[in-house]
Amino acid sequence: MALDEETIRECAAALLAGYDPADRLEFLRARFDVGLAWVHFPEGLGGLGAPRELQNVVERELAGTPQPDTGVQAIGLGMAAPTILTFGTEEQKKRFLRPLWTGEEIWCQLFSEPGAGSDLATLGTRAVRDGDEWVVDGQKVWTSGAHHARWAILVARTDVDVPKHRGLTYFVCDMHAPGVDVRPLRQITGEAEFNEVFLTGVRLGDDLRLGEVGDGWRVAQTTLMNERVAIGGAPVRRGGGMIGLVADTWRSRPELRTHDLHQRLLRLWVEAEVTRLAGSRLREQLSAGQPGPEGSGMKLSFASLNQALSGLDVELRGEEGLGYDDWTFRRSDSVDFFGRGPGYRYLRAKGNSIEGGTSEILRNIVAERVLGLPSEPRVDKDVPWKDLPR
pLDDT digits (tens, 9 = 90+) for 180-205: 999 999 999 999 989 999 999 999 99
Q: Can you give the pLDDT at residue 229?
A: 67
Residue ranges, the chain, pLDDT below 50: none
Residue 57 dihedral angles phi and psi, to the nearest 5°: -65, -45
Residue tagged active-site, from 227, 273, 294, 315: 227
Q: Can you give the pLDDT at residue 234?
A: 65
* Whether residues 258 and 354 fall in one domain: yes
Q: How many domains does the chain have?
A: 3
* Whether residues 133 and 172 fall in one domain: yes
Residue 73 lies in a domain: no
Name which of 190, 196, 193 is nearest 329 in CA terms: 190
* Whether residues 210 and 255 fall in one domain: no
Alpha-carbon gap, residue 217 to 385, rounded angstroms: 14
* Whether residues 225 and 196 fall in one domain: no
Report the CATH number at residue 133. Answer: 2.40.110.10
Instruction: Write the CB contacts of 208 (distance below 8 Å, at least 6 apart in sequence).
Output: 171, 172, 173, 174
Which residues make beta-bridge pairs with 155? 170
Q: Can you give the pLDDT at residue 338?
A: 80
* Whether residues 58 and 127 fall in one domain: no
Instruction: Write the CB contacts of 212 (distance below 8 Å, at least 6 apart in sequence).
Output: 169
Domain boundary among 165, 188, 214: 214
| End-to-end alpha carbon distance in the chain | 58
**Residue 340 burial by Cβ neighbours in a 10 Å radius (0-12, 13-18, 19+):** middle
Residue 141 dihedral angles phi and psi, to the nearest 5°: -145, 165
Report which DSSP code applies to 159. -
Which residues make beta-bridge pairs with 195? 184
Which residues make beta-bridge pairs with 205? 133
Q: Can you give the pLDDT at residue 228?
A: 67
pLDDT digits (tens, 9 = 90+) for 199-238: 999 999 999 999 999 999 999 998 988 776 666 556 677 8
Q: Can you give the pLDDT at residue 357?
A: 80
Contact 147/154 with Cβ under 8 angstroms? no
Alpha-carbon gap, residue 65 to 59, rounded angstroms: 9
Q: Kindly list the distances between the CA atom of residue 121 and the CA atoms of 54, 362, 380, in Å, as whole numbers in the listed order.
A: 37, 15, 11
Q: Can you give the pLDDT at residue 297?
A: 83
319 is catalytic: no
Q: In degrees, to the nearest 5, what angle opens at C-alpha 262 toward C-alphas 257 and 265?
A: 120
pLDDT digits (tens, 9 = 90+) for 289-329: 666 677 788 888 989 999 999 999 999 888 888 889 888 89
**3 state DSSP class of 163:** strand
pTM: 0.88
* Whether residues 367 and 270 fall in one domain: yes
What SS3 string covers 215-274?
Answer: CHHHHHHHHHHHHHHHHHCCCCCCCCHHHHHHHHHHHHCHHHCCHHHHHHHHHHHHHHHH
Range of the domain at 227: 220-371
Domain boundary among 214, 241, 262: 214
Alpha-carbon gap, residue 242 to 247, rounded angstroms: 9
Q: Can you give the pLDDT at residue 71?
A: 84
* Whether residues 255 and 320 fall in one domain: yes
Alpha-carbon gap, residue 73 to 69, rounded angstroms: 6
**Residue 168 burial by Cβ neighbours in a 10 Å radius (0-12, 13-18, 19+):** buried
Residue 179 lies in a domain: yes
Q: Can you give the pLDDT at residue 287?
A: 59
* Whether residues 195 and 227 fall in one domain: no
**3 state DSSP class of 191:** coil
Name which of 197, 192, 114 is nearest 152 in CA terms: 197
Alpha-helical regions (H) of the chain: 5-18, 24-33, 55-61, 74-75, 81-87, 90-102, 216-232, 241-252, 259-286, 294-316, 342-349, 359-365
Residue 108 dihedral angles phi and psi, to the nearest 5°: -130, 180
Report the CATH number at residue 256. Answer: 1.20.140.10
Instruction: Write the CB contacts of 292 (distance below 8 Å, at least 6 apart in sequence).
Output: 225, 285, 369
Alpha-carbon gap, residue 94 to 91, rounded angstroms: 5
**3 state DSSP class of 212:** coil
